[in-house]
């Protein structure tokens, strides 16, 4: 089974400003209510350590396009059990930046996850989006 959680928020700041905040991962503990920390380099092919509320995992950075997007792919155990492709996209527009925060899921546990955890996960994405907006628009 495949599934997606998609969130968006308009941020009244340039993509460069949003990118600066999003990729300065050492500051996440100061503002990010969802992703508590990211250690390692945001560089394609690099394994990073991501700490969320109550969970730590080690995804591999899939892509990095400066001022545009980055993503990672993580898995629970072996590939095919529960895999997630987490993406952050910055789309410039007249008002600043449309921030698109989404994750694609697949694997044996996807149906269970979507039934039990999708609403909670979407709310966590939205909390991060709102905190990012506040930080980007306040400076």
Question: What is the pLDDT, as a whole number, of residue 110?
Answer: 83
Per domain, the residue ranges of the chain are 2-24+61-138
Does CATH number 3.30.530.20 belong to domain 2-24+61-138? yes
pLDDT in tens, 75-117: 887 788 788 999 999 999 999 999 999 999 999 878 878 888 8
Distance of alpha carbon 77 from alpha carbon 85, whole angstroms:
15
pLDDT in tens, 54-71: 789 999 999 999 999 999
The pLDDT confidence band at residue 139, using thresholds 50, 70 and 90, is low
pLDDT in tens, 85-94: 999 999 999 9
Number of neighbouring beta carbons within 10 Å of residue 30: 9
43 pLDDT higher than 90: yes
Question: What is the pLDDT, as a whole number, of residue 53?
Answer: 79
Q: What percent of the chain has pLDDT over 90?
A: 80
Distance of alpha carbon 99 from alpha carbon 78, whole angstroms:
31
**Under 8 Å between Cβ of 104 and 2:** yes
**Under 8 Å between Cβ of 74 and 50:** yes
Question: What is the pLDDT, as a whole number, of residue 47?
Answer: 97
The residue-averaged pLDDT of 42-52 equals 96
Question: What is the pLDDT, as a whole number, of residue 86?
Answer: 95
What are 5's strand-pairing partners? 103
The residue-averaged pLDDT of 10-25 equals 98
Q: What percent of the chain has pLDDT over 70?
A: 99
Q: What is the 3-state secondary structure (H, E, C) of the chain?
A: CEEEEEEEEEECCCHHHHHHHHHCHHHHHHHCCCEEEEECCCCCCCECEEEECCEEECCEEEEEECCCEEEEEEECCCCCCCEEEEEEEEEEECCEEEEEEEEEEECCCHHHHHHHCHHHHHHHHHHHHHHHHHHHHHC
């Amino acid at each position: 089974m495949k599934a997606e959680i998609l969130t968006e928020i308009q941020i009244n700041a340039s993509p460069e400003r949003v990118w600066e905040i999003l990729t300065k991962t050492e500051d996440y503990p100061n503002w990010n209510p969802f992703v508590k920390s990211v250690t390692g380099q945001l560089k394609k092919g690099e394994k990073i350590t991501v700490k969320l509320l109550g969970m730590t995992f080690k995804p591999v950075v899939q892509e990095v396009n400066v001022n545009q997007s980055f993503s990672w792919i993580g898995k629970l155990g072996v590939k095919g059990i529960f895999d997630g492709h987490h993406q952050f996209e910055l789309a410039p527009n007249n008002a600043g930046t449309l921030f698109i925060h989404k994750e694609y899921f697949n694997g044996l546990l996807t149906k269970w996850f979507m039934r039990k955890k999708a609403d909670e996960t979407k709310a966590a994405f939205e909390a991060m989006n709102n905190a990012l907006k506040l930080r980007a628009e306040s400076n």
